[in-house]
Amino acid sequence: MIEFILNDKIIRTNANKSMTLVDFIRENRNLKGTKIVCREGDCGACTVMVGELSANQSSVKYHTITSCISSLANAHGQHIVTVEGLNLANKLNQVQQSLKDNYASQCGFCTPGFVVAMANYCLNDNADNEQQMLDAISGNICRCTGYVAIINAAKELVENCREQGKKYTLEQLIKHNFIPKYFASIKNNLKKIQSDYQRSGEKIIAGGTDLYVQQADTLLQTPNLRYITLEQGQPIIIENDTCSISGLATVTDLFENQELQNRIPHLQDFLRLLSSEAIRNMATVAGNFVNASPIGDMSAIFLALDATLLISHKDKNREVKLKNFFIDYKKIDLKENESIAKLWFKLPTKNSHFNFEKVSKRKHLDIATVNTAIHIEVKDNKIVHCDLSVGGVAAIPKFLNKTVDFLIDKEINNDTVKQAIDVMNTEITPISDVRGTAEYKRLLANQLLKAHFIKLFPKSILFDAT
Ligand SMILES: Cc1cc2nc3c(=O)[nH]c(=O)nc-3n(C[C@H](O)[C@H](O)[C@H](O)COP(=O)(O)OP(=O)(O)OC[C@H]3O[C@@H](n4cnc5c(N)ncnc54)[C@H](O)[C@@H]3O)c2cc1C
Ligand code: FES
Ligand code: FES
């Protein structure tokens, strides 16, 4: 049985666990405020809030998801808030009011998604500036109002949900009409829900952001599914120079980890290039590897961090280097019933540098045409260690073995980079497809290798425009 709180009501249901949450909300509960447009996680019309008890059960932490590609099962033990759950008894809440005051709604189809995403910003302790508000609505598309009015409303809210420099607490948000009163009782009600969900099946569903886009109907008929986000585990552990990441960790877990950001400067800028905040809240790192897309951003990043995977089945564990995990197009070193329990890698040191580059048809909310990451250690202007990956130019996310071998012991200068590009060209095999011709992708890979060096070593590298 799945048990969770939907707005102010406890739900206990034996409905098909793999149905999408949006279908349960709209068809089973008749709450039609949550809209469906793309059913692929791309537009944000179906955005709902998910509240989870913090580890010490002292508060409820909220984030957004797109409910069209999330399973009903993943709602277990949580507080799901739809646009109806934000309504006040006799007046508009502050988020609705702000959208109204700024003329930020026209046909209104996208509006419930924006209301939920903006309200979530107000509730989210980790968000307290305009950039974070823009992140919060980054996955919401409006096709008629125009974004200026919506962004004006959003900016107004950033100011209005704080007092004397401090973000409103839950109690203040209730008092100032941002959210209804019942939010105050959610923490205690969540504690009463049986959060121990018996794992059953073997076929893994994590965030569902790949599976539900491709196989939503098939999943409805698939018995024996294992919803791993319901399992417990600390997502990220940093000890000395090693970072270990659980198979359950989401992209947002990486995004919010302060120590990881200290060790990998610009990490948040890199991760912002992976879809929207709502998708990052669901998408797991392990799911990105197993999907094995040649342009997976997590694959490119963790190849360049030379990650090792711990692969498990029951009591048996084995270790596989990520660079050996990808065998051929969508063929990976993972047997039926095995799962990625965790991965780990050595963190960049003060002598080493990390960079990630991605070119897509649109800068944001798009998958890569070509992506690449590098982790490079330099002493006395000589390269002493390098790991380098590139995606979109081969059947797999590619670790560039030959280019790395070439770079070791070389000085950082223009000639080294030019020669490295020649070596790279011998080990990539781009093909033409909807994202670009083979020649274009080769050119991109070449330019992005230059971009790594220009960004990381601006004093040593000076390319002319050719
Ligand atoms: C709108 C949208 C935008 C996107 N944009 C990007 C983007 O910019 N860049 C990008 O790289 N990707 C993007 N993706 C793809 C997707 O979000 C990622 O690949 C994500 O990391 C997949 O993780 P998940 O947890 O959702 O996987 P799921 O869909 O749950 O699972 C994917 C596969 O991995 C398997 N799996 C999951 N976890 C494990 C585990 N621990 N052990 C073994 N097998 C496992 C599942 O069985 C399944 O086969 C986007 C997706 C959407 C819907
Ligand atoms: S309907 Fe478009 S994101 Fe869900
Ligand atoms: S108001 Fe019409 S799509 Fe946004």
Q: Are residues 25 and 153 in the same domain?
A: yes
Tell me: pLDDT of 197 over 70. no
The band of 126, judged by pLDDT with boundaries at 50, 70 and 90, is confident
Whether residues 186 and 283 share a domain: the answer is no
Q: Is residue 306 part of a domain?
A: yes
Atom of ligand 3 nearest to the CA of 108: 1
Residues 346, 285: one domain?
yes
Q: Do 380 and 309 fall into the same domain?
A: yes
Q: Is 68 in the pocket of ligand 2 (CB under 6 A)?
A: yes
- Beta bridge partner(s), residue 312: 317, 339
CB 426 within 8 A of CB 402: yes
* Averaged confidence pLDDT in the chain: 95
% pLDDT > 90, the chain: 88
Return the number of other C-beta atoms located less than 10 Å from residue 274's C-beta: 23
Between CA 80 and CA 101 the distance in angstroms is 27
Pair 315, 445 in one domain = yes
Residue 180 counted as domain residue: yes
Q: What pLDDT, on the 0 to 100 scale, is given for residue 165?
A: 87
Per-residue confidence (pLDDT) for residue 460, from 0 to 100: 85
Q: Which residues contact 410 (CB under 8 A, 6 or more apart)?
A: 382, 383, 416, 420
pLDDT of residue 198: 59
CATH number, domain with residue 289: 3.30.465.10
Distance of CA 56 to the CA centre of its chain: 24
Q: Which of 146, 150, 145, 123 is nearest to 134 (CA)?
A: 150
Q: Are residues 244 and 181 in the same domain?
A: no
State both tokens at 330.
């969508």
Q: Is residue 216 part of a domain?
A: no
Q: What is the 3-state secondary structure (H, E, C) of 411-465?
A: ECCHHHHHHHHHHHHHHCCCCCECCECHHHHHHHHHHHHHHHHHHHCCCCCCCCC
Q: 227 lies in a domain?
A: no
Ligand nearest to the CA of residue 109, numbered in listed order: 3
What residues are in contact with ligand 3 under a 6 Å CB criterion?
105-111, 142-145
Whether residue 276 sits in one domain with residue 167: no
Q: How many CB atoms are closer than 10 A to CB 351?
A: 11
CA 99 to ligand 1 centroid distance, Å: 33
The pLDDT confidence band at residue 193, using thresholds 50, 70 and 90, is confident
- Whether the CB of 139 sits within 6 Å of ligand 2: no
Region for 275 from its dihedrals, namely left if φ exceeds 0, alpha if ψ lies in -120 to 50, beta otherwise: left
Domain count, the chain: 2
In a domain? residue 196:
no
Strand partners, 352: 377
Tens-place pLDDT, residues 26-52: 999 999 999 999 999 999 999 999 999
- 177 and 241 belong to one structural domain: no
Q: Is 465 within a domain? A: no
As a whole-number percent, the residues of the chain with pLDDT over 70 amount to 98
**pLDDT tier, 162 (very low <50, low <70, confident <90, very high otherwise):** very high
**Dihedral (CA of 283, 284, 290, 292) sign:** positive
Mean pLDDT of 217-233: 87
Residue among 354, 189, 377 nearest 263 (CA): 354
Task: Note the pLDDT tens digit of each residue in 266-309.
Answer: 999 999 999 999 999 999 999 999 999 999 999 999 999 999 99
pLDDT of residue 330: 96
Residues 395 and 328: beta-carbon distance below 8 Å: yes
Query: Pocket residues for ligand 1 (CB within 6 Å)?
Result: 40-42, 69, 204-211, 213, 228, 247, 274-275, 279, 282-284, 286-288, 290-291, 296-298, 339-340, 367
Distance CA 156, CA 140 (A): 18
- What is residue 200's predicted lDDT score, i.e. its pLDDT? 62
- Among candidate residues 191, 215, 246, the one where a domain is terminated: 191
> Per residue in 399-444, pLDDT tens?
999 999 999 999 999 999 999 999 999 999 999 999 999 999 999 9
Is 244 in a helix, a strand, or coil? strand
d(CA 218, CA 241): 43
Would you give the DSSP letter of residue 71? B
Band of residue 369 on the pLDDT scale cut at 50, 70, 90: very high
- Same structural domain, 256 and 337: yes
223 located within any domain: no
Q: Give the contacts of 290 (CB within 8 A, at least 6 positions apart).
A: 204, 332, 334, 340
Q: Tell me which of 191, 224, 245 is where a domain ends.
A: 191
Task: State the DSSP H helix or E strand holding residue 311, giving kind and residue range, or none if neither.
Answer: strand 308-313
Angle formed at CA 383 by CA 379 and CA 388, multiple of 5 degrees: 135
Q: List, in sequence order, every beta strand (DSSP E) within 68-142.
A: 79-81
Tell me the best of 47, 219, 244, 290 to mutate to test the pocket of ligand 1, counting ligand atoms within 8 Å of each CB and taking the most.
290
Q: Which of 191, 221, 245 is the last residue of a domain?
A: 191
Name the nearest CA neighbour of 219 among 47, 72, 338: 72
List residues bridging with 236 in a β-sheet: 245
Domain check: are 175 and 243 in the same one? no
| Interval 118-128 mean pLDDT | 94
Residue 154 pLDDT > 70: yes
Assess whether 387 and 271 both reside in one domain: yes
Same domain, yes or no: 181 and 246: no
Nearest Cα residue to 80 out of 92, 96, 64, 69:
64
Phi, psi dihedrals of residue 101, rounded to the nearest 5°: -60, -30
What is the predicted pLDDT for the residue at 96? 98
CATH number for 63: 3.10.20.30
Asked if the structure places residue 267 within a domain, the reply is yes
- Encoded amino acid at 268, one letter: Q
What integer pLDDT is reported at residue 270 of this predicted model?
Answer: 97
Could you tell me the residue range of the domain that residue 257 belongs to?
Answer: 236-456
pLDDT of residue 289: 98
Give the three-state DSSP class for 102.
coil
Length of the chain: 466
Ligand 3 mutation pick, 83, 96, 103, 107, max ligand atoms within 8 A of CB = 107
